[in-house]
Structure formats: C-alpha cells, structure tokens
Structure 1
Amino acid sequence: MEYRNDCNACQLTPVHTQFQRICLFLHIKFLCMKRIIFVLFVGLSLTSCHIGRMVVYNVADVNDYKKSPQIPLRKADKPFVFAEKLLPELDTAAFPKRFITEDEKITGWESLFSETKTTSFLIIKNDTIKYEKYFLGRDENSIFTSFSANKSFISALVGIAIDEGKISSVKDPITKYLTEFKNPGFEKITIEHLLNMESGIRFRENYFNPVAEIGKYYYGKNLKKYVTNLKVEKDPGTVFEYRSINTLLLGMIVEKATGTSLDKYYQDKLWTPLGMECDATLNTDSKNGNQIKCYTGLNARACDYAKFGRLYLNKGNWNGKQIVTEEWVMSTITPVVKERSSVYYKYQWRIDNAGNYWAAGLLGQYVFVNPQHKVIIVRTGKKDGSVNWPTLMAHISKKI
C-alpha cells in the first residue's frame, strides 16, 4: 500500500475551522467558569463557613490576628518604661544545649533564634532590660500576637473581679452568671473548674481536624451562639483537659458579673494601670458578634507583655498600688499537686517545681517569670522548634 504525503488532503475546510473556533470558545468559557467558581468558593469560605476558612488559611500562624476584627486598647497616658543596661551578647555559658534541644543545627544563640524563627527575645532583671533582640524584620514597634498567652491575662481579670466583689468566689457555679446555660451538668461546673481546665465540657482542641470545635471557635463568627450548644461529657474537677472554651466562658462571666464590656475592663484594670507604652488590640469573632476571643488574640508589643510578667513578679502590686491581690497571685503560682509532675497548670498559668511560672501561647509565645532572680523573659516566634523554652529561660535566669 502506497502512503501519499499530500498536504492538500489535510487542509481544514471552513466548516472545520468554524468548529475549532467554537471548541476554543467553549474551552475558554469553561476555564473562566472554573475560576469564578473557585473565587466564589474562597469568598464564601472566608465570610461564612469556618471549615472553609480553616482550609484556606490552613494552620495557625503569627499573622492570624489580621484575619479577624480587632478592638483597640489604648496606651497609658503615663507609660512605665523599663531601664536599659543592655548586654552586647548573651553569655555562651547560659546556653545549656544538652538540656534544651537535640537539634544538631542549633549550636548557639544565633542558630537558636534563626532555626526556631524567633521574632523577639527580651530579658529583664530588676526592672532593667538586659537583652533585647528582634528578628525576621521585626523591631520594638512590631505587633506580636499572644495566642493562648492571653489566657493568663483573662485569669487576672477574674481575680480583679473577685477582689471588687463582682464575682463572689471561684467556687461559684458558672450558671450563676451564665444563666442561659440550660444543658445538664453545667450547674456543677465552678469558675475554678474553668480556671484549672477541669470543666469536663466536650471540646476537641485538635487544630488539624476541620470538624473539631477549636476550628469553629477560632474561625467562626458567632461565639455567643456556639456556646449555647455546648455539652458536659465528664464530671467537673476529675480530669485535666486543656480546652480553650474554658477561657472564653471565663471572659463571658467577667462581662456578666461586672456589667462592663471585656475590652473596657481590660483597659481600665490592666492596660492603663500597668502603664502600657503602646496601643494594642483584642481580636473578636466578627463585627456583628463583637465577642472577644478570650483564649487568644491579644496583639501587643514585646515590652508590654513584659509588664504583665512584672505585675505577677511583684505579687500583683504595681509601684505601690495593688492591681491584683497578692492572695490571687499566690493561689495562681502555687500548684495543687495531685500527682508528681515537672510542670503544673493552675489558673491559666504553667508552673514548674523550681517556682518559675509562665504564660504560654501556640508557636512558642512566652511571658516567663523567675521570682528567685527577679527575671522576666518574653519570647515570641513563628514556631516553637524542638526547644524546651521554659528550661532554657530558667537557666538564663540563673546566669544573667
């Protein structure tokens, strides 16, 4: 059979050309529709569905505070400023690598901060800044989000409300203040159960599970509605389970008990009295809901976080004025030892056996206090890394 290479035989007729044009037009229209559908999906995800926003935003990061509405906290008219006597560098003797990490890439301070994506590191001793460094484009004016370190601030507000007689006692049932909670079991939960993460409320704190409650509460837009559907699954006071819902309910109780919006109470009882140098913000669920996310979302400068550490270091006293009662602070930093542990949780703080205590947030946000050596350390960052930060900070406190 002879094969004939006849170019004229394969030329397109006008009918063929017209058909190709129609196909090309339909293909372009299809691609445009896909793009429109994708944009609509993203738009709807970001505005209405917490699961969609969780998928789009993925895991939490230090810029999350920009994705939710914010309520301002104003700097104090008379700011408190730490003295400065800066060390040029940290002593290598204060770097106990064998205690803090097994990461072979970390061999000293410089690699520690770079490998863990630290964004700020402050060391204050006897009201004097001894070390202050910022990384990854940050400086002393940068905003750092607290994540769960804000829980410790909410605890302080509970203590203040008790001192003012707005809340009778940590032994009060939460239904005394949250009267809309009608589901069985809530009448057995006390404020102290919330403070110590022993409420028994069903709440899955799994950041990688799109249907876990934490995703809904982190990205959702109607927290006041969500809490009415909560259920109790365990007897209060029997099991420690770290659950952010407990802190949200504490903030709601403070609002109900004081008759004051939580941001105003925050401003009047902490931000202004502690002489905060800079404006800050608190994240809310939405502009309509306006419910502060008490378990996260304080956004402030590193130096102002340190002032909160100073308040507890001085047993609630601020330059002669008692902001939080000494009794509350001592109750907070004195663990109830049910079983021996290296770290205890009490009133939204963590405490070790050496008497150090700290507020901690996701990705390694810390306000660390060493009362023995009168040291406060603030660390913020994009990740924890493999570092045991409290152990490192305790060692620094002895050496600085």
Structure 2
Amino acid sequence: MKNRQTFLPAVMKPLVLAVALGSTWSFVPSALAESAQNCDGVMLSSCPTPQDKTLPDPKDMLNWDQTARVIGFRNDYRNYAGDVFKHGQSTPFLRADKPLKEATYSVRGKTYTLQDYLKRQNATGMLVLKNGKVAYKYLGEGNTDQTLWTSRSVGKSVVSTLVGIAIKEGKISSLDDLVTRYEPDLKGTAWDGVTLKQLIQHTSGVAWNEDYTNPHSDFANLTQCEARPGTYDCVRKIIVGLKRAHPAGQSWSYSSGGAWLLGDVLEKATGMPLAAYLQQSIWQPYGMANDGVWHSYEPGKHDVGAHGFNATLEDWGRFGEFVMGGGRLPDGKKILPENWIEQAGNWTKAENSVSAAHPDGLYGFEWWNNEVPVNATNVIPAPSDSLKGSLWALGIYGQIIMVNPAEDLVIVQWSTWPKAEPDFSAQPLEASLMFSAIAEKLR
C-alpha cells in the first residue's frame, strides 16, 4: 500500500532449518533437525495445506488473475527462497463468550451483511479476536488452519515492531540514529542525513515510485529483481541509486524501498536475518502455533524488510494480540519499549499524511490510520470513536491486521482484491466500516 531474493524453483531451495544458538543464528542441514517435514523443499514442523501443484510465475505477480493470486499468495513460501522461523509452545484460542453472528454496514445507500462483505473483499480468510478469544473465523478458497498466507506489506508492521524490540535490547540505540550509523557505505547517497525515525515513518525525502500499475516503477523493478538470481545485490543497487525529492522529514511518501532499507539496518544491528530475530524474540517465546517462512533475498543472511512474512491465520492474530498487549510475553516480560505502541500510532504530521479525511495523520511506525474518514457521508456506522487509536497493518490486495486496544479487538483479513491498491472509497473504506460495525456489535 502506498497512498494512504532470489527466485528459486522449489526443487532448488536449500533444505535448511534455522536454529537459534544463544545470540548466534546459524543454519544446519535439515537432516539433523528433529520432527521437521520436507514440504517441497522447505523444512517445517508440519506441511501447509493446500499445497497446490502448479504455481504462478512470480515475475508476473502484479498481473496475476484472481485464481493465480489465491494460489500464489498461499504458496509464496514455495515460490521464493525463504528462511523458516520456528513455532513455540502454543495455547489454543478459546471461543468468545459472545460470538459474532452478524454485522452490517451501509455505503452509498446500500446495506451489506458480513457475507456480502467477504464477497466484496474477495476475502480468503478472516479472524476476529475479542478479549483474546475467537468471536469469528472464516477460511475460504480452500484455505485451512495450516495455510501460510503471504503478508505483502503487513510485513512492514512486523519489522517496525522488531525495531522496537531491538531498541529495548540496546541493539539500536535510538530512532534518532542516522541510517549511516548502521550502513556507513550509504554516506554520500540520498540516504545520508536520514534518521531511523524518518525511515520508519516514510518521511526520508528519498524519491521512490510505488506505482503498482506502472511496469517501470521502482516497486515493479524490485519485483523483477525478486524473480531472478542475485536479488539482494539487484535491489540494493536500486536503493543506493535513488535520488532525494524533499528534505528529510518534510513530506510523507510511502516507500517499499525505504522499508527494505529499514529491514537491512535491523539485520545489521542484530547480526541476524529477520526470520531469526522474529523467532528468537516473538515467535517462540510468545507461543505461536505454527512455523512461518520469511521471503529471503539471501537465505540465512538477509530477508526482505518490505514484505514476505508468511504465517497462518491464527498466528497473524497472535501477533496482533502481542502488539495490543504492548509487547508483553506470557511470562510477563515486556520486550517493547514503554509506550512503543502509542508512539507507533502517533501519526506523522508531515505533508501528505494529514488530510480532510484523516486530520490526525495517516501513517505512523509502518502502521496506518484507517479509521472511518471523519468527512465520510452517507455511511453507517458514521465516523465515531469505535476505531479510535486503532493500528492497521495493510498490504496490497487486502491483507490486514487491525489492532484496536480500546475495544480489546484484533481483526485479521486475507484478501485478493482485483486491484493492488483500489481507491480508498472502495475496499479500504468498506473495511473501516465493517471493522467499526464489528467493534460496536461486540461491545
């Protein structure tokens, strides 16, 4: 979402299992791993289902049809090289005392039910957690509880959360640090003088074209890099060659290039790939139920910070619960800085972030403000406080984790919207209306 690796055939993927050894991350041959299964070249505790036989070509990702999009998004972990992050000791979700049976919203004079909403969103999965319990769950298009669905830019919100953990651990001293403290070879480039806070808020001022419809945009070029060998070097060449468009901190402009660089900074600061750091800090200690896979540009060395997180529906929900709890683990240990979540939702007031629809701002620490626009008319629910303070992780084609601390509500959505980024008055608006309706219904 903007306005608002290497490709290896499955049979060539490294048969490796990531293992954390103290503070050192290393990869050992899968033959030495216990209870791991070979899932078409990816070693996981259990194989995801369904495992489709024929996969769409990743170089055409932005032009897949609806069928290819469903298959591609649930087989992303097979279509690209990836690093595995292992699950912990999980506790099954309980059913909510008050299940969600129905919720409706109205837009442009028409009222839609929850079932209507699922069809209009091309939803393939949805999970509603109220007070940490399952109030509603939907899986469609053959998806199952074992399906690993790809995050697209929801992964950015995961990376920003890991940055918070790295600050708490002292691996990153402050968001006021310059990018060049961790990437000294970027001195003299457009990134020189940019802080980590400007990077995480997408206010670096470095020009980046995120246009998903333009085959020559920076994002499209990144996608092409991902579909051939030498991905890391290919993408880094794009990033290093970017030019400055505005003074740092002046203007907000969504950038998967900047997000990629943030992930690279995090890996250099922690000394491990994103998957390893996620496993060590959250996935195992919080008690996620299934292994996940992170799209890797260099297996065992570098995972992409802009997207590529693949996990099950319920584990997406568990991550939302972790964030809503302020980063507290089951043993009570808090691994995020004090007030980190509040800071993450302190929307930047830089140019282009503030609008008549969202006067408080649109973007924070790689989380979105997707409340019902305050100037929305002829909609039900009307703009209200039901989504106030909510954080939205958003990815193209309709991938969502909404964290709403005030309502103790987490909503996950998997989708295959016909457009990567539709006009806000379409699916994004209807998502805010439905999520607001759900919040009000579950009170």
Considering the TM-score relative to the shorter chain, is it more than 0.5? yes
Q: CA deviation at 1:88?
A: 6.9
Q: Please name the residue that 2:202 is paired with.
A: 197
Q: For 1:349, which of 367, 376, 380 is the aligned residue?
A: 367
Question: What residue ranges of structure 1 are gaps of 5+ in the alignment?
Answer: 1-42, 44-52
What secondary structure, in the 3-state scheme, does the structure 2 residue paired with 1:358 have? strand
* Contact 2:292 2:312 (C-alpha < 8 Å) held by counterparts: yes
User: How do residues 1-400 of structure 1 correspond to structure 2 at under 5 angstroms?
Assistant: 56-59=60-63, 61-62=69-70, 63-64=72-73, 65=76, 66-76=78-88, 78-85=89-96, 90-91=101-102, 94-98=103-107, 102=108, 107-220=112-225, 221-222=231-232, 223-285=235-297, 291-319=302-330, 320-337=332-349, 339=354, 341-342=357-358, 344-351=362-369, 352=371, 354-383=388-417, 386-387=426-427, 388=429, 389-400=431-442
Q: Deviations over 1:73-112 (max 9, x none)?
A: 1111x11332123767622xx31123xxx496x7322222
Aligned-partner Cα distance in 2 for 1:272–1:83: 20
Aligned-partner Cα distance in 1 for 2:272–2:132: 32
Aligned-partner Cα distance in 1 for 2:248–2:81: 33
Aligned-partner Cα distance in 2 for 1:75–1:261: 17
Aligned-partner Cα distance in 1 for 2:142–2:84: 24
What secondary structure, in the 3-state scheme, does the structure 1 residue paired with 2:278 have? helix
Greater CA drift, 321-330 or 220-229: 220-229
Aligned-partner Cα distance in 2 for 1:337–1:118: 32
* Contact 2:168 2:335 (C-alpha < 8 Å) held by counterparts: no
Q: Please name the residue that 2:38 is paired with.
A: none
- How many residues in Structure 1 have an aligned counterpart in Structure 2? 342
* Contact 1:180 1:228 (C-alpha < 8 Å) held by counterparts: no
Shift >4 Å, 4+ stretches = 53-58, 86-89, 336-341
Q: CA deviation at 1:291?
A: 3.2
Greater CA drift, 352-361 or 273-282: 352-361
Return the structure number with greater helix share: 1
The sequence identity of aligned pairs, in percent, is: 26
Greater CA drift, 202-211 or 172-181: 202-211
- Label 1:57 to 1:148 Cα distance change in 2 as closer, same or farther (>3 A): closer
Q: Please name the residue that 2:22 is paired with.
A: none
* Contact 2:177 2:195 (C-alpha < 8 Å) held by counterparts: yes
The residue type equivalent to 2:368 in the other structure is R
What secondary structure, in the 3-state scheme, does the structure 1 residue paired with 2:394 have? strand
The residue type equivalent to 1:59 in the other structure is N
What secondary structure, in the 3-state scheme, does the structure 2 residue paired with 1:79 have? coil
Q: CA deviation at 1:382?
A: 1.0
Aligned-partner Cα distance in 2 for 1:276–1:158: 20
CA RMSD of aligned residues (A): 2.6
Q: Please name the residue that 1:50 is paired with.
A: none
What secondary structure, in the 3-state scheme, does the structure 2 residue paired with 1:90 have? coil
- Label 1:374 to 1:57 Cα distance change in 2 as closer, same or farther (>3 A): closer
Aligned-partner Cα distance in 1 for 2:289–2:236: 32
* Contact 2:121 2:398 (C-alpha < 8 Å) held by counterparts: no
Aligned-partner Cα distance in 2 for 1:334–1:253: 22
What secondary structure, in the 3-state scheme, does the structure 2 residue paired with 1:346 have? coil
The residue type equivalent to 1:193 in the other structure is Q
Q: CA deviation at 1:119?
A: 0.6
- Label 1:316 to 1:172 Cα distance change in 2 as closer, same or farther (>3 A): same
The residue type equivalent to 2:266 in the other structure is V
Aligned-partner Cα distance in 1 for 2:97–2:412: 15
Q: Deviations over 1:110-131 (max 9, x none)?
A: 2221232211111111111011
Aligned-partner Cα distance in 2 for 1:219–1:272: 33
The residue type equivalent to 1:291 in the other structure is H
The residue type equivalent to 1:145 in the other structure is T
Could you tell me the TM-score, scaled by structure 1's length?
A: 0.79
Q: Deviations over 1:254-284 (max 9, x none)?
A: 1111222322112101211221101110112
The residue type equivalent to 1:355 in the other structure is G
* Contact 1:183 1:231 (C-alpha < 8 Å) held by counterparts: no
* Contact 2:167 2:337 (C-alpha < 8 Å) held by counterparts: no
What secondary structure, in the 3-state scheme, does the structure 1 residue paired with 2:240 have? helix
Could you tell me the TM-score, scaled by structure 2's length?
A: 0.71
What secondary structure, in the 3-state scheme, does the structure 2 residue paired with 1:345 have? coil
Aligned-partner Cα distance in 1 for 2:284–2:308: 19
Q: CA deviation at 1:315?
A: 1.8
